[in-house]
């Protein structure tokens, strides 16, 4: 970690000049300039003063963000099969439970269905990639065909089934994660 570069970035983010930061910390503009260029290192006490003037603390300053994975490949997919209900689920983003939404690819054999999902906070979205499904939403049963989508607030019990004679495939996104 380049301390000077990070201090400079915070200073600019706070819309301060080197002189303004120096005045707030009772330091010289030249010293701030040298710190930002990593030509000198501040003492711990001075660093704490600088960070306080920049609206942060030492813990947050040194806490490096973890690079989040953005692209997921075939090897990242987790699969679970339920032969009794005749479906297979592929979690497209591993550990999606920590995210705000959870995308899955659902494969439903003819006569298959998902488990009943109780009402919960959040929303559900699905896009039928192959075949057709019945969306069971409370007391309603809605037919959704290939290249059609569904979207609803999860205020009612819900599940999907495949009453057809061909395999159905659905891209399903739930928020918050519930699969």
The DSSP 8-state label assigned to residue 15 in this structure reads T
| Residue pLDDT tens, the chain, 179 long | 789 999 999 999 999 999 999 999 999 999 999 999 999 999 999 999 999 999 999 999 998 777 778 899 999 999 999 999 999 999 998 877 678 899 999 999 999 999 999 999 999 999 999 999 999 999 999 999 999 999 999 999 999 999 999 999 999 999 888 76
Confidence at residue 10, expressed as pLDDT on a 0 to 100 scale: 94
Domains and CATH numbers, the chain: 3-62 (1.10.260.40), 74-175 (2.60.120.10)
Confidence at residue 124, expressed as pLDDT on a 0 to 100 scale: 96
Output the CA angle 111-137-115, nearest 5 degrees: 45
Longest dimension (CA), the chain: 78
Query: Could you tell me the CA-to-CA distances from 65 to 14, 47, 148, 158, 165 in Å, in that order?
Result: 20, 20, 39, 38, 49
- For 148, the token pair is 């059609």
Confidence at residue 176, expressed as pLDDT on a 0 to 100 scale: 83
Confidence at residue 16, expressed as pLDDT on a 0 to 100 scale: 94
Residue 160, class by beta-carbon neighbours within 10 Å (0-12 exposed, 13-18 middle, 19+ buried)?
buried
Tens of pLDDT along 22-46? Answer: 999 999 999 999 999 999 999 999 9
Task: Give me the long-range contacts of 53-57 (CB less than 8 A, separation at least 24).
Answer: 53/21, 53/24, 53/25, 54/7, 54/10, 54/11, 54/14, 54/16, 54/21, 55/10, 55/14, 56/10
Rounded Cα distance between 6 and 43, Å, is: 16
């Amino acid at each position: 970690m380049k301390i000077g570069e990070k201090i400079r970035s915070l200073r600019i983010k706070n819309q301060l000049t080197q002189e303004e930061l120096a005045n707030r910390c009772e330091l010289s503009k030249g010293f701030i300039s040298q710190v930002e260029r990593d030509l000198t290192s501040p003492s711990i006490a001075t660093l704490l003063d600088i960070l306080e003037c920049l609206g942060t603390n030492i813990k947050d300053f040194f806490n490096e963000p973890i690079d989040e994975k953005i692209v997921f490949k075939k090897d990242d997919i987790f699969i679970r099969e339920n032969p009794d209900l005749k479906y297979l689920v592929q979690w497209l983003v591993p550990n999606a439970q920590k995210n705000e939404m959870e995308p899955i690819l659902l494969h439903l054999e003819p006569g298959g269905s998902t488990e009943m999902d109780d009402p919960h906070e959040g929303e559900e979205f699905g896009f039928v990639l192959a075949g057709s499904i019945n969306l069971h939403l409370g007391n309603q049963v809605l037919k959704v065909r290939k290249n059609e989508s569904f979207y609803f607030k999860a205020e009612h019990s819900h599940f999907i089934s495949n009453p057809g004679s061909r395999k159905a495939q659905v891209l399903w996104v739930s928020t918050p994660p519930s699969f």
